[in-house]
Chain A
Amino acid sequence: MAEWEAVIGLEVHVQLATASKLFSGSSTDFGSEPNALTDPTVLGLPGALPALNGRALELAIQLGAAVGSSIRRRSRFARKHYFYPDLPKGYQISQYDQPLCEGGAVELRGSGEARTVRLRRIHMEEDAGKSIHGARGHSLVDLNRAGVPLCEIVSEPDIRSGDEAAEFMRALRQLVRYLGVSGGDMEKGQLRCDANVSVRPAGSERYGTRTELKNINSFRFVKQAIENEIGRQTRILEGGGTIVQETRLWDADAGVSHPMRSKEEAEDYRYFPDPDLPPLEVSDEFLARVEGSLPELPAARFDRLVRDYGLSEDDARTLTQERTLADYFDRAVSAYAESSTKAASGAKALANWIQSELLRELGREGRDAASAPVSPESLAGLVRLIDDGTISGKIAKDVFAKMYASGEPAEAIVEREGLRQITDQGEIEAIAREVVEANPGQVEAYRGGKHKMLGFFVGQVMKRTGGKANPKAVNEILTRLLDAPG
């Protein structure tokens, strides 16, 4: 049987994180009552006109700059015409022949081999409203979403599998959240994906006939819908059939796609430059300012964590997943470094604490690192107390739980509760001698060769000190006392 290769290009819509709409002042809030967030422009009332939101422009340029697109100094808006009840003006204001951003790439560095997906373009456009297909032969239209600013990101057909497509989406989500360009929440429709899928014999240079898959609205479905379509096309081709160029709608409930529209029935959108909106000019100064304000991007941050702190790739990947978490880590490391010369070892310890204790607690509450009750400085303080022997690692876990509950720094809790580790050799030895003397039978057993009995003595010492004795010192002293001839 022939080997088949899938060729996939994605068209991703990202909602830009603005307070007001792309071309007018009504709010972009999510979850309001129907039609409560409109104005004459959003409703497409006669006489209403568009006025471009400067913040949306800035966010779109940030996104373009972050993926290495070239930003057009002069772009323009066009009208794309079609009739649909949730499209108020009978056209969507979009960009057509002169998009804001051209080119660029997204790097995929998931678990597999690193790959680059090239981008064709990124343009700005307004969202449509929402039609709810209700009962009794009616549809109900809510225009709250109409006019919400979007960026459409169009990739080149560089993706080869459903997994890669999902990874591309995750990388984009991570990026837009890092940049603060978008919430990137697929559930809220802030990130949406259409996929162009075709299949060809492996090694072929020519593209097969493609279909366009629409309505892919969660990360889970990206992979599922694309794999389903690859399977469908492969079966047709293996059966000697031909693929029909068409648009297909993904039905997530049924796990299949249905044909929507063939190429012949395709709308003629009658694009033309929007006469209501003059050309969009981006000055060199503005572009330089936006580029200068870009944060460190996920890939660079990943590299730095591995390089500077010797973290494992897995640790670095987890810590850079969200910008808030990566910022948390960086702040904790720099707080630690201020009081210690062992920055690298501190970084590893901090990475462990964050990944085990902190993420577990945050995850339980569905919280973000930015709102963690334990500040990065406090966490650094805790790790410092372990390093300098003030508390043991075991005690530290209890201290962390108390820090998380109260928000207090570690030092305060340790002092108040008297959790400071006993490191005084004399004090530990006095207690150890008591224990040795109180358990002659066990001493005899130990000396008779049952060295495992050491654990018993350590436990007894810890019990008498409330767990505060330095375990290393306890071990050394007990070994010395027990090994000494009686």
Chain B
Amino acid sequence: MKTLTREETRAVAELARLQLSDAELDTIGAELGQILEHMEALAEVDTEGVEPMTHAVPMSIRPRSDEVEASLSAGRAVGAAPDAEDDFFRVPRVIESRGEESS
């Protein structure tokens, strides 16, 4: 039966920002292996020339007009945050600069 290695599972967990114990990694690795094996049935389906279906019902975007709606107050915006300071969300200091931008 297919099982993901602990390292492989850990790499996926890191991508998903899930801190998992070694025991969890092993359990999930085995479960994922089993599930993925089941998924392999899809490989036998002939999908030559078939369009991928990204939406359940065919439709296109209906753009809205550029109208400003009332904003939530800063107090309500940060009111549910686990940590805040002066209407800012507060997090542990970001060391590395943003891991993103521009494709």
Residues of A at the B interface (CB closer than 8 Å) are: 11, 13, 18-20, 24-27, 33-40, 43, 51-57, 74, 76, 80, 82-87, 92, 94, 96, 128, 131-134, 137-143, 152, 154, 194, 214-215, 249, 260-261, 267-270, 273, 275, 277-281
Task: Give the CA-CA distance A87 to B101 in the complex, in Å.
Answer: 11
CB atoms of A53 and B98 under 8 A apart: no
CB atoms of B99 and A35 under 8 A apart: no
A135 CB, min distance to chain B CBs, angstroms = 9
What is the total of A-B residue contacts with beta carbons within 8 Å?
A: 152
CB atoms of A85 and B89 under 8 A apart: yes
Additional A-B contact list (10), CB under 8 Å, known A53-B64, A80-B100: A18-B66, A26-B72, A38-B77, A40-B72, A83-B17, A86-B98, A138-B92, A194-B102, A275-B55, A278-B59
CB atoms of B91 and A35 under 8 A apart: no
From B67, B70, B72, A19 is in contact (CB under 8 Å) with B67
Task: Give the CA-CA distance A139 to B85 in the complex, in Å.
Answer: 10
Contacts of B44 in A (CB 8 A): none
Q: Chain B, interface size: which category?
A: 35 or more
CB atoms of B96 and A260 under 8 A apart: yes
CB atoms of B94 and A39 under 8 A apart: no
CB atoms of A51 and B90 under 8 A apart: no
Task: Give the CA-CA distance A139 to B100 in the complex, in Å.
Answer: 17
Task: Give the CA-CA distance A143 to B100 in the complex, in Å.
Answer: 16
> Which among A138, A268, A269, A273 has the highest number of chain B CB atoms within 10 Å?
A138
A264 CB, min distance to chain B CBs, angstroms = 13
Task: Give the CA-CA distance A35 to B78 in the complex, in Å.
Answer: 8
From B66, B69, B78, B94, A26 is in contact (CB under 8 Å) with B69
**B32-82 contacts to A (CB < 8 Å):** 54-55, 59-61, 63-74, 77-78
Contacts of B97 in A (CB 8 A): 214-215, 249, 260
* Chain A residue at minimum C-beta to C-beta distance from B56: A275
Contacts of A37 in B (CB 8 A): 71
CB atoms of B64 and A80 under 8 A apart: no
CB atoms of B63 and A26 under 8 A apart: no
CB atoms of B85 and A140 under 8 A apart: yes
Do A34 and B87 form a contact, CB below 8 Å, given A39-B71, A52-B64, A261-B96? yes
* Chain B residue at minimum C-beta to C-beta distance from A25: B69
**Can you name 7 A-B residue pairings with CB atoms under 8 Å?**
A25-B68, A39-B72, A55-B66, A128-B100, A138-B93, A140-B86, A261-B99
From B55, B60, B78, B94, A85 is in contact (CB under 8 Å) with B94
A308 CB, min distance to chain B CBs, angstroms = 37
A214 CB, min distance to chain B CBs, angstroms = 6
Contacts of B59 in A (CB 8 A): 278
Task: Give the CA-CA distance A396 to B45 in the complex, in Å.
Answer: 85
B98 CB, min distance to chain A CBs, angstroms = 5
Contacts of B1 in A (CB 8 A): none
Do A267 and B77 form a contact, CB below 8 Å, given A131-B94, A140-B89? no
* Chain B residue at minimum C-beta to C-beta distance from A136: B93
CB atoms of A39 and B90 under 8 A apart: no
CB atoms of B74 and A35 under 8 A apart: yes
CB atoms of B60 and A279 under 8 A apart: yes
B103 on the interface (CB 8 Å rule)? yes
B23 on the interface (CB 8 Å rule)? no
CB atoms of B61 and A279 under 8 A apart: yes
From A25, A139, A143, A260, B77 is in contact (CB under 8 Å) with A143
CB atoms of B102 and A137 under 8 A apart: no
Task: Give the CA-CA distance A348 to B79 in the complex, in Å.
Answer: 62
Task: Give the CA-CA distance A229 to B21 in the complex, in Å.
Answer: 43
From B74, B99, B100, B102, A36 is in contact (CB under 8 Å) with B74
Contacts of A275 in B (CB 8 A): 54-55
Contacts of B101 in A (CB 8 A): 194, 214
CB atoms of A35 and B87 under 8 A apart: yes
CB atoms of B103 and A141 under 8 A apart: no
CB atoms of B100 and A20 under 8 A apart: no
CB atoms of A273 and B54 under 8 A apart: yes
Closest 10 CB pairs of A and B: A25-B69, A54-B63, A55-B66, A140-B88, A141-B89, A281-B60, A35-B74, A11-B102, A35-B77, A273-B54
